[in-house]
Structure 1
Amino acid sequence: MELTDEWRLPGFTELEQLGTGTFGRVVLARQDNTGHVVAIKYLFSRFAAEPAYLAAFRQEALALHRVASPHVVKLYEFFETQQGAAIVMEAINGVSLRAVLQAQGALEPEAALAVLKGSLLGLAAAHSANVVHRDYKPANVLVADTGESKLVDFGTAVLAGERGPSVGTPAYMAPEQWAGGVASPATDVYAATCVFFQCVAGHRPYEAEQTEVLRTLHEHAPIPFGEVPQPVHEIVAAGMAKDPSKRPVDALTFVGELERVARAGYGEDWERKGWSRLAKATGVLVAATPLVLLGAGTAAAPGVAAAGTGAVAASTGGIAAGLKIAIGVVAATAAVVGGVVVFSDASTPPPQPPPTTQQAVALKVAMKTRTGTVPGTNIAYSGDYPEVTGSPDQAWLKRVNDALTAPIDAWNGKTGPGAAQLEPERGPYKLLTKADVRSQNDRYLSVRYTHDLENKPHPTWSYGRATVTVDLKEGRALTPAELFAPGVLSDDGMRKLTERIWPDKEQCGVPTSTFPYRPLRSADLTDEPKVWLAFAPTAVEITVNMTDLGFTTACGVQDHTLPYDKVADLLNPALVDGVTSGTTVKGTPSAPPAQGLTDVSAGALTLHLPKDWTVVSQGLEKVLVAPGCPDPKKYFNCKYVLITDNTQQSAEQPPYRPGGFYRRSAGGRACNAAGRKDLRQEGDAERTASTTETVGGAKATYEEWTIQCVPRGQTGGSGETRVTQRIWFLADRQVVVMDEWRTPGVEDLLRTATVS
């Protein structure tokens, strides 16, 4: 039977050819039985009979199968038939970074940093799966219309530690890659830094017509970091170090360094500014992609742009295409099953036909920031909120997004006039609102808001909170009564809830003789709310403003996390079912925690605590007090662990800075672990360990620091004693865990954690 290079997978209708290469072609297609649009990468039939090429094609599919990340194009299925082989992938509406650079020449630093961060997170996911990409270049970075970048084309990927063939694109190949050395994540870091250099400088770091000359430059020429803006000298010099051991150990570590440099050089909102500027550069290109022109919804896949269209397609070069160089072949590790399908990724199948309500088809949620001046005052404000897009029903979108921005307006209206009357010498003042998405699926979006005042009269004061839970099916925010089972939003029902929150009746951590027990009332959730509920995948999170309830300011704002099995009888059963069943929890062997565990969350990290542990809120930190503490509420001489959402900060508690020890206190941390509350961790600090570890299935940087304890007011130098900090930092999710006690059981807590 004669084989044709125009063979097609049955069950798909081709919509557009996106690109062709020496070894294959990429098309945009619609799955006939679902209507879902995908990108299909075909290996030409004439190469299917050659083991080396077929093995390389299988290897690419296998690499995509291993790597799961929103920053990597998804694999749906890999087919192998008598006619040839095909990879069915996610379709993304966007353009390649190569096309952007061809149109723009260079990018502003914030835009280049934003693109680099997203694709580095894709590399980080690959590295956590022990996969090294080996061909990071502009053609393999996709800039999507959703304000994110994705990594594509794993045609040359291998497992970390494999020597394998010498493969890559010469303009971006690390010195060890030229020599056919062992593949490591640091190799990808080098290539990513070269691409970043090109983005901001407008040209590649080294250029030559002869391949051997280019090799010599990469191996021996000085790093040209002086040709990029001064704020990013550091990351270019580190990322392009000739010795791989001198580079960030992997992409996740590099993300931490990038964010630190970006904040220092371009401000806290560098990423928002970067994507805003990038949108202007990519808007025209994206508007001309086949998906937009066809009205196909979500769009195409990875790598080289189809001529004349600006569309992005999966790279069709395979091994040894264009500027790629290849020596040897990649070994196949996937087996043919029944001669047809090698494997499919059941965790990310093409969706079923869309539901009747249009807004459920392609909703997207992105964090936004709104800034301005409170009307009638001179007080500035900055408010974060999630914005929902993707529905053709503009009235529906307005209802949803008005509900999601309402907490900003309420905080500004309530606090702005009073802030304008504060002593001007303490200022300038600024109203702040931070938003934290607690759960998000096709039915519900639950968001928690934290309000604050910059340069507030007292640094320890806590301000208001708010929560919004949106029913995405109906397109509206739920009322307080709809959060509970029928009849529970009553004084009697709230009395039951109070007993679940404070079973010992010590609402401020002291006997009731000091602060009399005060059950919650229904009005506490409806009239000038003082109690708020947010819904996470495994627990309800309840925030109570104790001061507004009439307690002393020392009681502050309390956060309590109750697993659903402890309060299911009080909550709306449909809401709990929709939140728990609609969310896929990554990095855990089973979704809800075992009975008897308590969930404690900081940002995207949830730890499942055994019953003997105690949780205490300390400003923006959660203190997890280990079993055996005589007085867990006053834990000075007890072993404890701190977790914190690094996106939250205040004047008193600035964020953790990667690459340094953990302070999270403007006044310096006390040396509790050394038994010296009178000393501060402000002396000399030495990093004694640096590596990567796994937290809840996600990769985290791990460091140990030895810190000298010195009297208050002293900075640097040696002290009378010292403490050792252990720090786990999930850079892509901005969550920090810190332990100074070698607390027993902390490793088990991190291993069994949930990272969403």
Structure 2
Amino acid sequence: MAVSEWALPGFTEVDRLGEGSFGRVVLARQDSTGHTVAIKYLFARHLADPRLVDAFRQEARVLSQVVSPYVARLHEFIETPDGAAIVMEAVPGVPLRAILESDGALAPEAALAVLKGSLLGLSAAHHAGIVHRDYKPDNVLVDTHRQSKLVDFGIAVLAGQAGLSVGTPAYMAPEQWAGSAASPATDVYAATCVFFQCIAGHRPFEADSTEVLRNLHEYAPIPFGEAPEPVRGLISRGMAKNPAERPASADAFLSELESTAVAAYGEDWEDRGWGRLAQRAGALLALSPLAMLAGASALAPAGAGAAGVAVAGSGGVAAAGAGGGVLVKAGAILAGAALVGTGVIVVVNNSGDDPAPPPPVVRNVAMQVSTNVTTERAPGSTVDVNAQFLSVGGGADPGVTQRINTALREPVDRWVAFVSRSAPEWGQNTGGPPVIGTDATVGLQNDELLSVRYTHKVTNPPHSTWMFKSSALTFDLRTGELLTPDKLLRPEKRNPAGMTELAGALWPGGDPCREGGSTPAIPLDALSAADSIERPFELLLTPDGVEFAVEMQTFGGSTACGVSDGELSYDALGGLFAPALLAKVNAAPASSGPSVPSSSKPAGPTEKLAVGPLTFTVPSTWTRRPQGLEQVVVDAAECADPVKYFNCRYFMVTDNTKANSEQPAYEPGKPYRRSANGRACNAAGRKDLWQDGESTLEESTAAQVGGRAARFERWSVECVPRGSAGGGTGVRITQRIWFVPSSNVVIVDEWNVPGLPEILNSAEWN
């Protein structure tokens, strides 16, 4: 490394991954933990240029807002007088460009698989109001686990924002050449150009000069005839010259892709496409200096998110990262490998003066809530973590989204740090090592408000009687404000008399501890206290009322009294709550995307759902998703994104007469293992673990599915790192299997889907 190049303290460079006009990307190891990350450095010579420094900051801001397993995530942004660096997830993959240079054209199924993964990543950006503007093969990483990730948002802008003609000319949409406003349709154009290159073996338009290339993109006929007939429609629509004639978003294009792929190449098209891609990615990765990391056993969960702003504890270093302080500094368990390709090509439109860009125009859409899982530890901790946290996407203002995501992640990070500090004093517990966890529940979600609860827990605590706190958070979705309990009350009730009235509503029978005392007094400052491990008063809003939890020791009760909790209707609270708040409680339900599991979601109407050879009577919100030889049934109302259902409750139906080398037939008397490349422990919330450990048959009995004789088996399956011999991880899932020999059909449930036995009993055979 040259002496003049600044390096982030606390990290040792392992290898250099790439270099562009503005900076370099290195693979680095954190000295204190040994974990591997990718660090993107801005060249020191650019630190004096405010425009370039601000662009570097903007890339970090964009990454902090785009939360998706299909986008390489931000861990930290570091800026000091000596240098600036973006610390990112290191992805065990190779650029799509390398695969295309090696293989030329891809099979249609493989090209469609790449396009689908990219659209899922672009969709997350579009929901955050961000347009990538430089989608190209260099910025798509294909890994060995049958997934792709987008990287390098260095020139991304807010949707609707105009600016210079920036991008890579081979993939730039006509509106980019003209310097017009960027929109999600701009990314759809670039993704379609790359799809054409994957399937045809060359770019759609090629020329020796940028001016000729511009004319081709703006005026030349779309060369869809060089592609196989089934996908020509995707290419002609995706590369339409007028952005209004393209699919309006990645989501819309994704729907077209799915229906086209299934109709042309069968329901297992994606499985066949990814089989080839993962094989090529593995072979190319083995030839790179990143090969040593591809088999790392401790991988970050694909759903782990990144959002928020934190401040490091020394040197005035600002860190924009995922949730305040327990990120890379905290010893995150990370995957390792490649990140960014070389620099972009910039084409500047010099026609006339460069006017100031207009303010961003962002479509006003409702926010969507997603459930994520983190395994990130606190600094220096050895305690395992498997904790849920929520994040939001979409909305009119990315700044509001970021504020909410920061607050949504903070209680989980704080809980992890608190338990990590206490754990060394516990000694060895006979039940096994402790695991820090959090369960996330949505009480209320509509266009105005979001109210959630985190239930904190520890597996194998030092004593079985230990009880752990919960955190309730309520947000104004228009402003991003966190509404502490005192802000839910009428202003005239925020006084001692109002607190006496509130106590009477909560405990109409007097002292809830039954210790001979009077009704406890509630200090007003208890309602306005900042959220912490010890916050004594929690309120969760639901559509029908308020769920409360009060730490009674804080209000004069004994330790044995513990927590007083219950639920009150809004009518029972009388005139305590602010009318404006009650109006927001009754606002229209969230109109853009389904929500995560709610604490009071009423049972809805049922409908018939055909899944392979069976038809089930299920809630009308349930839907079927094809997954190769398996058919997945997932509740769209209980899943933040049923397209990416792996973190949601679901069950599967598979035709056991169909099998291939990657998905062998299920064998009765053994756990279900026929998923390609083994089964991940999705139901445990751990994408870094696989069902490769010891399995125990706990129950085997006769059952029925739709009136036909079946065999029911219940297995306890151990989840271990890939390649591990198993044992001692302490992570197990329950696998329920119904096998119908006469039809050779298998139904598998790893999420304990409520009512599934009854659904199967009443099923009809097609």
Compute the TM-score of the two structures, normalised by the length of structure 1. 0.47
Compute the TM-score of the two structures, normalised by the length of structure 2. 0.47
